[in-house]
Every structure is written in structure tokens, then in C-alpha cells.
Amino acid sequence: MRPSSRRSSNVTPPPRSTASPTPGATRPDLGLEAEIFWDRHKMKVIGALVLVLAAILGYTLFLYFRANALGSANAQLSAAKTIDELKKVISDHPSSVVAGNAYLVLAQRQAEAKEYEAAAASAKALTENFPDYPLVSAAWLALGANLEAAGKLDQADAAFKTASERAANDFAVPLALLARANIAKFRGNSTEARRFLDDVMARYPGSAPAMQAEQEKRFVRVVATAPAAAAVVNPAPATPKPDSPPAIAPVITKPVLPAPKSESTPAATPPAK
């Protein structure tokens, strides 16, 4: 018996699309659409590619010329020996990192010539013109050291204070604290000097600056107690009170005894009448 071709009344037929298919319709040709897009926007695409290539080429040339400039600047700095030659390196390459290196070398040469104020000016120029210089902390230390050598302790302490407030892992921080302790000790402020030395020992235990701080702290303590020790060893003589008369030591005299007569001495004869 053949199965019935009639559908069951319980089965719902799928919904039919209301849009009737167009007779003879075909799927869109992607190649044709790409060709149409290229015809419409090819000038924009080519222009964007040209800009990208120009940017890459320009950046490459920038790196090339910058490398050449740095190479010639470094060669000029290596050949510079005198103060005037170092100043010329700075004037020829004012915005280059090589100028920062030249400032440090210039400050060193001027300090060796005992031109401490000029050396301080060179270090200060480095901190002002190149605040992001990798060794700007060394410039602050050089500034403080040359100002201290020139006798300007207030300005030197301010420079060391700036160096000591940098990041904790900066090499200049413990050195700046030691320098501030030295200035405080020179001024006779032992309490402040010991405070700086204790800070170095607490923040950098086991390091070379901490060991130096420990030695300096012992010396500061000895200097602080030296006057008291001298007063004990050499006491001042006591002065007598004005109301009391000075003490007079009694004088002890020995009694004068008659000389004993000798038996061998003959007796005196009376004079003759």
C-alpha cells in the first residue's frame, strides 16, 4: 500500500518568503564590485600609500642624518682637550645629547683649574638645558661640590638637597646626603649631621656610602664630646673667695740648742792680775 502523499494536519509548513524571486536573477559578481570600487577610490588609496612611503623614507633619512651628526659630534668631543674646545662642542651641537656630555667634561676641566664658580655655572647650565639628561644627577652633585669649594655653602646645600630628593635608587642620593652631613658638620651642627648620616645608614644598609656614614658618625660624636673631655683632663684652677682671707701655712721653727762642750778643749785661764 503506497504511503499517502498528503501532509499531516499537525505539521506546520515553513513560512514562505513574500518576495517572489525575480526570473533570471543571478548572484552579484565580487570581482566586478572590486573593480568598480577601485575605479572610484584608486586615487585615494594611491595617495595614502604615497604618504606612508614618504613618512617611512623621511624617518629613515632622519635616523641616518642623526646618526651621522651624533658620530661627528662624538668625534669632536673626543678630540676636545681644552676648555675652549669643549665650549665649541657645546656651541656646535647645542641641542644634542653630546652637548650634555661636554658640559660635564667642561665642569671637570674647570674644577681642575680651580675655576669653581665657572665649573658650577657649567653644571647648572646642564641641569637647566637638559633636565632629562641621563646623568643629570651627576650634574647636581658637581654643582654642589663646586659651590662648596667656592665657599657658597647655602647654595651648595640647596644643590645637594635637590640631588637627595631624586628617586631612591638614584646613585646620587646617598652621596648628596653625605655631602649635606659634611656641610652641617663644618657649620658646627652635629645634630643635623648625624641625622643625615643616620638616613644614609637606614636607607642603604651594607653599601659603601652606609659604611662611610658610620665612620663619619663616629668622628662627629668625638668632635662633639671633645670640649667636655678637655675640661675634665685640664680643670681650671679654683679662685679663692674674696670674703675669705687666703690660707697661710704655719711656719714651724726648730729650737736653737747650745753647742755641747768638748772634753778635749782646755778650760779658759783667768787673766793675770
| Residue 220: CATH number of its domain | 1.25.40.10
Q: How is residue 53 written as a grid cell?
A: 612611503
Count of domains for the chain? 2
- Coil vs helix vs strand at 55: helix
Contact (Cβ atoms closer than 8 angstroms) between residue 93 and residue 99: yes
The reply to whether 68 falls in a domain is: no
- Distance between CA atoms of residues 8 and 57, nearest Å: 75
State which residues form the domain around 182.
Answer: 166-225
Q: Is 141 in the same domain as 184?
A: no
pLDDT of residue 246: 47
pLDDT of residue 29: 58
pLDDT of residue 154: 96
The reply to whether 157 falls in a domain is: no
Per-residue model confidence as pLDDT tens for the chain (273 residues) = 454 445 445 555 555 555 555 555 555 555 666 667 666 766 766 766 666 656 655 545 444 445 555 677 778 888 888 999 999 999 998 888 888 899 999 999 999 999 999 999 999 999 999 999 888 999 999 999 999 999 999 999 999 999 999 998 999 999 999 999 999 999 999 999 999 999 999 999 999 999 999 999 988 865 444 444 333 334 444 444 444 444 444 444 444 445 554 444 444 455 554
Domain end point (choices 116, 150, 184): 150
Helix 136-149 with 172-186: angle, nearest 10 deg: 10
Contact (Cβ atoms closer than 8 angstroms) between residue 212 and residue 178: yes
Cα dihedral across residues 113, 117, 119, 122: positive or negative = negative
Domain end point (choices 98, 125, 150): 150
Of the candidates 147, 88, 92, 98, the residue with the CA atom closest to the CA atom of residue 126: 98
pLDDT of residue 263: 46
The rounded Cα 68 to chain-centroid distance in angstroms is 32
Domain end point (choices 150, 177, 193): 150
The reply to whether 38 falls in a domain is: no
The reply to whether 62 falls in a domain is: no
Q: Is 184 in the same domain as 211?
A: yes
